[in-house]
Protein backbone atom coordinates (compact mmCIF):
# COMPACT_ATOMS: atom_id res chain seq x y z
CA UNK A 1 0.00 0.00 0.00
CA UNK A 2 1.31 3.42 -0.92
CA UNK A 3 2.54 5.33 2.16
CA UNK A 4 2.38 2.26 4.42
CA UNK A 5 5.98 2.84 5.60
CA UNK A 6 5.23 6.46 6.54
CA UNK A 7 2.17 5.44 8.55
CA UNK A 8 4.17 2.73 10.37
CA UNK A 9 6.92 5.25 11.16
CA UNK A 10 4.47 7.82 12.49
CA UNK A 11 2.76 5.13 14.57
CA UNK A 12 6.09 4.16 16.14
CA UNK A 13 6.88 7.82 16.87
CA UNK A 14 3.47 8.26 18.50
CA UNK A 15 3.96 5.05 20.52
CA UNK A 16 7.28 6.34 21.84
CA UNK A 17 5.95 9.85 22.47
CA UNK A 18 2.91 8.85 24.50
CA UNK A 19 4.57 5.76 25.93
CA UNK A 20 7.44 7.82 27.32
CA UNK A 21 5.03 9.36 29.87
CA UNK A 22 4.49 5.97 31.45
CA UNK A 23 7.56 3.95 30.44
CA UNK A 24 11.11 5.43 30.71
CA UNK A 25 12.37 2.85 28.19
CA UNK A 26 10.37 4.65 25.49
CA UNK A 27 12.23 7.91 26.13
CA UNK A 28 14.81 7.97 23.33
CA UNK A 29 16.42 11.31 24.21
CA UNK A 30 18.29 12.60 27.26
CA UNK A 31 18.78 16.09 28.74
CA UNK A 32 22.24 16.70 27.22
CA UNK A 33 24.73 17.94 28.44
CA UNK A 34 23.64 17.17 32.04
CA UNK A 35 22.72 13.64 30.97
CA UNK A 36 24.57 11.51 28.46
CA UNK A 37 23.74 8.27 26.70
CA UNK A 38 26.17 5.45 27.46
CA UNK A 39 28.90 5.33 24.85
CA UNK A 40 29.00 2.21 22.71
CA UNK A 41 32.30 0.71 21.54
CA UNK A 42 31.61 1.37 17.87
CA UNK A 43 31.28 5.14 18.45
CA UNK A 44 33.49 7.16 16.12
CA UNK A 45 33.97 10.87 15.74
CA UNK A 46 37.32 12.22 14.52
CA UNK A 47 40.66 10.52 13.90
CA UNK A 48 43.67 10.50 16.23
CA UNK A 49 47.24 9.17 15.91
CA UNK A 50 48.25 6.20 18.07
CA UNK A 51 51.64 6.07 19.77
CA UNK A 52 53.32 3.24 21.70
CA UNK A 53 55.31 3.72 24.90
CA UNK A 54 55.66 6.89 26.98
CA UNK A 55 57.14 9.31 24.46
CA UNK A 56 54.49 10.37 21.97
CA UNK A 57 56.98 11.76 19.45
CA UNK A 58 59.21 8.68 19.43
CA UNK A 59 56.33 6.24 19.67
CA UNK A 60 54.09 7.48 16.85
CA UNK A 61 53.29 4.55 14.59
CA UNK A 62 52.79 6.82 11.59
CA UNK A 63 55.57 6.56 8.99
CA UNK A 64 54.27 9.47 6.89
CA UNK A 65 53.44 7.26 3.90
CA UNK A 66 50.70 9.79 3.07
CA UNK A 67 48.18 7.17 1.92
CA UNK A 68 45.51 8.58 4.24
CA UNK A 69 46.21 12.10 2.97
CA UNK A 70 45.64 10.94 -0.63
CA UNK A 71 42.52 8.92 0.18
CA UNK A 72 40.73 11.40 2.46
CA UNK A 73 37.68 12.47 0.42
CA UNK A 74 37.44 16.11 1.60
CA UNK A 75 41.27 16.45 1.73
CA UNK A 76 41.41 17.61 5.32
CA UNK A 77 44.69 15.82 6.19
CA UNK A 78 48.00 17.60 5.67
CA UNK A 79 51.31 15.73 6.10
CA UNK A 80 54.92 16.75 5.71
CA UNK A 81 57.34 13.84 5.59
CA UNK A 82 60.52 14.03 7.74
CA UNK A 83 63.89 14.40 6.02
CA UNK A 84 65.54 11.97 8.48
CA UNK A 85 64.44 8.57 9.81
CA UNK A 86 63.82 7.09 13.25
CA UNK A 87 63.75 3.43 14.33
CA UNK A 88 60.30 1.83 14.48
CA UNK A 89 59.14 -0.87 16.91
CA UNK A 90 61.53 -3.44 15.39
CA UNK A 91 64.42 -1.02 14.94
CA UNK A 92 63.85 -0.49 11.21
CA UNK A 93 64.59 3.11 10.14
CA UNK A 94 61.37 4.79 9.04
CA UNK A 95 60.25 8.29 8.11
CA UNK A 96 57.89 10.05 10.47
CA UNK A 97 55.49 12.96 10.00
CA UNK A 98 57.33 16.25 10.53
CA UNK A 99 53.85 17.77 10.30
CA UNK A 100 50.49 16.05 10.55
CA UNK A 101 47.36 18.21 10.69
CA UNK A 102 43.68 17.36 10.42
CA UNK A 103 41.10 20.08 9.93
CA UNK A 104 38.19 18.60 11.85
CA UNK A 105 35.89 21.39 10.68
CA UNK A 106 36.10 19.65 7.28
CA UNK A 107 36.44 16.00 8.41
CA UNK A 108 33.25 14.01 7.83
CA UNK A 109 34.19 11.09 10.11
CA UNK A 110 34.07 8.61 7.23
CA UNK A 111 36.95 6.54 8.70
CA UNK A 112 38.55 5.98 5.29
CA UNK A 113 41.92 7.18 6.66
CA UNK A 114 41.71 4.40 9.28
CA UNK A 115 40.77 1.74 6.73
CA UNK A 116 43.65 2.55 4.37
CA UNK A 117 46.44 2.96 6.94
CA UNK A 118 48.78 -0.06 6.61
CA UNK A 119 50.42 0.63 10.00
CA UNK A 120 47.39 0.86 12.34
CA UNK A 121 48.64 4.35 13.10
CA UNK A 122 45.38 6.28 12.87
CA UNK A 123 42.13 5.40 14.63
CA UNK A 124 38.79 7.02 15.35
CA UNK A 125 38.36 8.96 18.56
CA UNK A 126 35.15 9.29 20.54
CA UNK A 127 35.49 12.98 21.41
CA UNK A 128 32.95 15.19 19.73
CA UNK A 129 32.82 18.23 22.03
CA UNK A 130 35.42 20.21 20.11
CA UNK A 131 33.58 23.49 19.56
CA UNK A 132 35.75 26.59 19.66
CA UNK A 133 35.31 30.33 19.27
CA UNK A 134 38.57 30.52 17.33
CA UNK A 135 37.29 30.33 13.78
CA UNK A 136 40.74 30.21 12.15
CA UNK A 137 42.65 27.57 14.06
CA UNK A 138 40.46 26.15 16.79
CA UNK A 139 39.49 23.10 14.79
CA UNK A 140 42.84 22.48 13.16
CA UNK A 141 44.31 19.56 15.12
CA UNK A 142 48.10 19.42 14.94
CA UNK A 143 50.32 16.37 15.55
CA UNK A 144 50.70 17.03 19.29
CA UNK A 145 46.91 17.26 19.73
CA UNK A 146 46.26 14.23 17.55
CA UNK A 147 48.76 11.95 19.35
CA UNK A 148 47.10 9.62 21.88
CA UNK A 149 48.50 6.56 23.60
CA UNK A 150 47.72 2.95 22.79
CA UNK A 151 46.34 2.71 26.36
CA UNK A 152 43.78 5.37 25.48
CA UNK A 153 42.90 3.41 22.32
CA UNK A 154 42.31 0.32 24.50
CA UNK A 155 40.13 2.37 26.81
CA UNK A 156 37.78 3.59 24.07
CA UNK A 157 37.77 0.60 21.67
CA UNK A 158 38.95 -2.40 23.76
CA UNK A 159 37.96 -5.21 21.37
CA UNK A 160 39.35 -3.52 18.26
CA UNK A 161 42.57 -2.44 20.05
CA UNK A 162 43.20 -5.98 21.33
CA UNK A 163 42.87 -7.33 17.78
CA UNK A 164 45.26 -4.67 16.45
CA UNK A 165 47.80 -5.42 19.20
CA UNK A 166 47.72 -9.14 18.41
CA UNK A 167 48.17 -8.52 14.66
CA UNK A 168 51.01 -6.04 15.27
CA UNK A 169 52.76 -8.42 17.69
CA UNK A 170 52.60 -11.17 15.05
CA UNK A 171 53.95 -8.84 12.32
CA UNK A 172 56.74 -7.59 14.59
CA UNK A 173 57.68 -11.15 15.53
CA UNK A 174 57.85 -12.10 11.83
CA UNK A 175 59.97 -9.03 11.07
CA UNK A 176 62.34 -9.80 13.97
CA UNK A 177 62.67 -13.41 12.76
CA UNK A 178 63.40 -12.14 9.23
CA UNK A 179 66.08 -9.81 10.60
CA UNK A 180 67.54 -12.63 12.74
CA UNK A 181 67.71 -15.00 9.74
CA UNK A 182 69.27 -12.28 7.54
CA UNK A 183 71.88 -11.54 10.24
CA UNK A 184 72.64 -15.29 10.64
CA UNK A 185 72.96 -15.70 6.84
CA UNK A 186 75.29 -12.67 6.64
CA UNK A 187 77.41 -14.01 9.52
CA UNK A 188 77.59 -17.46 7.88
CA UNK A 189 78.58 -15.93 4.53
CA UNK A 190 81.30 -13.83 6.21
CA UNK A 191 82.60 -16.90 8.10
CA UNK A 192 82.65 -18.98 4.87
CA UNK A 193 84.54 -16.22 3.05
CA UNK A 194 87.10 -15.97 5.86
CA UNK A 195 87.52 -19.76 5.91
CA UNK A 196 87.97 -19.88 2.12
CA UNK A 197 90.58 -17.11 2.29
CA UNK A 198 92.48 -18.96 5.03
CA UNK A 199 92.41 -22.29 3.13
CA UNK A 200 93.54 -20.90 -0.26
CA UNK A 201 97.27 -21.42 -1.24
CA UNK A 202 99.26 -18.18 -0.98
CA UNK A 203 99.67 -18.05 -4.82
CA UNK A 204 100.64 -14.41 -5.28
CA UNK A 205 103.20 -14.39 -2.51
CA UNK A 206 104.60 -17.78 -3.64
CA UNK A 207 104.90 -16.57 -7.21
CA UNK A 208 106.79 -13.49 -6.06
CA UNK A 209 109.01 -15.55 -3.85
CA UNK A 210 109.53 -18.17 -6.59
CA UNK A 211 110.21 -15.48 -9.15
CA UNK A 212 112.79 -13.94 -6.87
CA UNK A 213 114.22 -17.40 -6.19
CA UNK A 214 114.41 -18.35 -9.91
CA UNK A 215 115.97 -15.06 -10.73
CA UNK A 216 118.45 -15.59 -7.96
CA UNK A 217 119.21 -19.14 -9.24
CA UNK A 218 119.64 -17.88 -12.81
CA UNK A 219 122.05 -15.24 -11.57
CA UNK A 220 123.94 -17.95 -9.66
CA UNK A 221 124.09 -20.11 -12.85
CA UNK A 222 125.33 -17.17 -14.95
CA UNK A 223 128.20 -16.68 -12.51
S1 LIG B 1 37.61 10.43 8.76
FE2 LIG B 1 37.35 10.69 6.52
S3 LIG B 1 37.19 12.88 6.25
FE4 LIG B 1 38.01 12.60 8.31
S5 LIG B 1 40.23 12.67 8.04
FE6 LIG B 1 39.65 10.53 7.86
S7 LIG B 1 39.37 10.17 5.65
FE8 LIG B 1 39.36 12.40 6.00
S1 LIG C 1 48.47 7.60 9.42
FE2 LIG C 1 48.90 5.69 8.34
S3 LIG C 1 48.31 6.02 6.22
FE4 LIG C 1 48.46 8.06 7.21
S5 LIG C 1 50.55 8.70 6.76
FE6 LIG C 1 50.58 7.73 8.76
S7 LIG C 1 51.15 5.57 8.32
FE8 LIG C 1 50.48 6.49 6.37
* Tens-digit pLDDT profile for residues 127-164: 999 988 988 888 999 999 999 999 999 999 999 999 99
With 50 as the cut, is the pLDDT of residue 223 above it?
no
Our answer on whether the CB atom of 62 is closer than 6 Å to any ligand 2 atom is: yes
Name all residues whose Cβ lies below 6 A of ligand 1: 47, 72-74, 76-77, 102, 107-113
Ligand nearest to the CA of 147: 2
Higher pLDDT, 156 or 219: 156
Check: CB of residue 106 under 8 Å from CB of residue 76. Answer: yes
**What are the structural domains of the chain?**
1-37 (no CATH), 42-171 (3.30.70.3270)
Ligand 2 atom, smallest distance to 67 CA: 3
Determine the pLDDT at residue 28.
Answer: 80
The H-or-E segment that residue 184 falls in is: helix 158-199
**DSSP assigned state of 24:** G
Please tell me the distance from the alpha carbon of residue 81 to that of residue 77, in angstroms, as a whole number.
13
Between CA 20 and CA 30, with CA 36 as vertex, the angle to 5 degrees is 25
Ligand 1 atom, smallest distance to 108 CA: 3
With 70 as the cut, is the pLDDT of residue 206 above it?
no
Determine the pLDDT at residue 219.
Answer: 45
Long-range contacts of 143-147 (CB under 8 A, 24+ apart): 143/49, 143/60, 143/97, 143/99, 143/100, 143/101, 144/56, 146/47, 146/48, 146/49, 146/100, 146/102, 147/48, 147/49, 147/51, 147/56, 147/57, 147/60
**CA 108 to centroid of ligand 1, rounded, Å:** 6
Assign 220 a pLDDT band (cuts: 50, 70, 90): very low
Higher pLDDT, 131 or 223: 131
Query: What are the angstrom distances between the C-alpha of 81 and each of 49, 94, 142, 180?
Result: 15, 10, 14, 29
User: Each residue of 181-195: pLDDT tens digit?
Assistant: 999 999 999 999 999
Determine the pLDDT at residue 203.
Answer: 62
**CA 139 to centroid of ligand 1, rounded, Å:** 14
Please tell me the distance from the alpha carbon of residue 13 to that of residue 27, in angstroms, as a whole number.
11
Lowest mean pLDDT among 9-18, 68-77, 117-126: 9-18
Our answer on whether the CB atom of 64 is closer than 6 Å to any ligand 2 atom is: yes
With 80 as the cut, is the pLDDT of residue 217 above it?
no
Ligand 2 atom, smallest distance to 77 CA: 4
Determine the pLDDT at residue 1.
Answer: 78
User: Each residue of 76-123: pLDDT tens digit?
Assistant: 999 999 999 998 877 889 999 999 999 999 999 999 999 999 999 999
Q: Which of 106, 108, 114, 121 to mutate to test the pocket of ligand 1 (most atoms within 8 A of CB)?
A: 108
64: left (phi over 0), alpha (psi -120 to 50) or beta: left
Please tell me the distance from the alpha carbon of residue 106 to that of residue 126, in angstroms, as a whole number.
17
Number of residues that this document lists for the chain: 223
Please tell me the distance from the alpha carbon of residue 46 to that of residue 124, in angstroms, as a whole number.
5
pTM of the model: 0.77
User: Each residue of 25-73: pLDDT tens digit?
Assistant: 888 888 999 999 888 999 999 999 999 999 999 999 999 999 999 999 9
Tell me what percent of the chain is helix, strand and coil, each rounded to the nearest 5.
Answer: 50, 15, 40
Amino acid sequence: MLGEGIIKGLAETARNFFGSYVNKERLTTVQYPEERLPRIEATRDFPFLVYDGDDWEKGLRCVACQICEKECPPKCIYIEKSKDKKPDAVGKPQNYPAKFDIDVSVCMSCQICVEVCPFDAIKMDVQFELSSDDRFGGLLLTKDKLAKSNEYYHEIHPTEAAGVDAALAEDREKEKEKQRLAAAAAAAAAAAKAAAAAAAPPTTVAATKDGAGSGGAAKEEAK
